[in-house]
Amino acid sequence: MLQRTPCFDARPMFILAMTVLAALTPAAALEVGRGVESAEIAVGDDLILSWDGLVPDTMYTAAVVDEYDQVVAEALRKSSSDGVLEPFYVWIGTGIVGCDGDPDPASDEYLFAYPDEAEAVLKGRTFQVALAELETRTSVARFTISMLPKEKNLFYFSDEDGCPRCEYEYGEPVYLSGSLVVLDSFWLFLVEELVRPTVGDPLVDVLGGPIELWPPGSAFVAQVTEELPLCQDHVGVVRPMAGNQPDPYLDAGDIIVDPSFCGAGEDMTPDKSIRVRDPDKIPCED
């Protein structure tokens, strides 16, 4: 049984400052294409595939399979009229789905509630990625990916036990969890949903200012707010602390909280935002 880190209550250490922050680091991902024979991917990252030289306007399946040929993850895509598969997600977050219940981690041995569970199962293993025509099952390519342990500081919104969350009931407290490779202190900002942000853009913290976090160890859980602001999806941004106040503009070195663990939309793109569950039941102004 994997042990959870006791909840670290960061409320006494909150520093609220009337500042704005702009930041965005894309979710860590491995993108591969034609010609690759092997690659490495860290636990928690996304696997993205692109390909060219295919039959035009044809459905293809890309699958990650284990050493027993069991399908670990799979995605379907249609080639363009030029025979190209534009970049698409095949394996999001290496199967880490958190505790929102959709999908249920108990339904599949390669779905995980916690990042440390994924690392315990995946680290050090090698998987095959197979690309084939869907209808004829004609093989196009097959290559290997080796699983590395996480190689960066990982942050995600969670419950008080540190299990990743993306949806909260109205009035439910929101926590930030972290698994740190490099121990440091951080600013946390909660901003409105980011759409195609550009370095230098100003972003306003919806809680009135950044929260200062001093993790006591390599794993931590800290309460962010007693309830999530209504009527808007939100994104967390983390910046290593340097000086008294962070620069109030988007910085290329900042880290998006919870880059992959919020599942995927219809286009199999990770949803990076957190929200109040059933927002239609809450009266919101247009």
pLDDT at 83 > cutoff 90: yes
| Residue type (1 letter), 281 | K
pLDDT tens digits for range 109-167: 999 988 888 999 999 999 999 999 999 999 999 999 999 987 777 888 888 988 888 78
SS3 120: helix
- Tell me: the pLDDT tens digits for 246-269? 777 778 777 777 555 665 544 555
Q: Report the pLDDT value the prediction gives residue 189, as an integer from 0 to 100.
A: 82
Provide the pLDDT for residue 65.
96
pLDDT at 13: 28
Q: Report d(CA 24, CA 195) in Å as an integer.
A: 10
For the chain, the residue count is 286
CB 205 within 8 A of CB 248: no
pTM summary value: 0.73
> Is 271 a residue whose pLDDT tops 60?
no
CATH topology of domain 29-148: Immunoglobulin-like (2.60.40)
In Å, how far are 207, 214, 274 from 280, measured between CA atoms? Answer: 22, 36, 15
Rounded distance between C-alpha atoms, residue 163 and residue 198, angstroms = 30
- Enter the tokens of residue 173: 């407290």
Q: Across the chain, what does the average pLDDT equal?
A: 77
Task: Compute the distance between CA of residue 145 and CA of residue 36 in angstroms, rounded to an integer.
Answer: 10
The domain locations on the chain are 1-27+152-286, 29-148
